[in-house]
Amino acid sequence: MAGVEDLTRVVIADAGPLIALSRVGRLHLLRGLFGAVEITGQIRAEVLDGSGFPGQDAIAAALQDGWLRCHAIDLAPWHPRFPGVDEGEASAMLLAETFPMPLLIMDDRAGRAEASARGFAVMGVAAVVGLAKRQGLIPLAGPILSEMRANGYFIGADVIDAILARVGESAGRNP
C-alpha cells in the first residue's frame, strides 16, 4: 500500500476506483480516509458520462459537496512512456505533477506502470478497502471486494488474497 504513511497528502483518484466504490455504495470511504480527493475534468466526464450506472449519483453528490474536487487539465504537454494510458490516467498524472508527494488511486495496469515510472505513489481500490478496514471505517474488507468483483470490476484474486491477509481476514471468502 504505497503512500499510506501520510494520510494528509493530496490524493488524486482515477475513474475506475471511483466507479467501483460508488457501485457498491462505498464512495464515502475515500472521504473518511483522505478528507478530500482530487479529480480532473477528463475523469469527471468519464464518471458522469450519462450511462447512469448504479452509484453515479454518489459521485455527482460528492462533487457538489466539495470533497471530490475537479481540476481543469490540459493534456497537450502529455508524453506517455507506456502505451495504453488513457486520458483520465494521463490527466491524473499531470495534476499529480502540481502537488508535492501526491497519492494516485488507480487500478489500470498501464496507468499504474506509467505512474510508478514517474515516481508517484500509487494505491489500488483494493488497498483503499483494506486501509478502510485497518482504520476502522468498515468491519470487513472481503465482502466489499467480493461485491466489487460481482459488479464486474476486475480485481485479481491474488490482490484480494494479499489485502485480506494484511487485514487479518481469511482469503477463502473471495470468489
Separation of alpha carbons 61 and 159, rounded Å? 30
Which element (helix H / strand E) includes 120? none
How sure is the predictor about 81, in pLDDT bands with cuts at 50, 70 and 90?
confident
Residues β-bridged to residue 173: none
CA dihedral 147, 22, 135, 122 (to 10 degrees): 100
At 17 the pLDDT is 98
- Tell me the mean pLDDT in the region 122-149: 97
Residue 161 pLDDT greater than 60, yes or no:
yes
Tell me the domain boundaries of the chain. 11-73+81-173
Class of CATH domain 11-73+81-173: alpha beta
Amino acid at 39: I
User: For the segment 163-172, what is each residue's pLDDT rounded down to a tens digit?
Assistant: 999 999 986 5
User: For the segment 104-118, what is each residue's pLDDT rounded down to a tens digit?
Assistant: 999 999 999 999 999
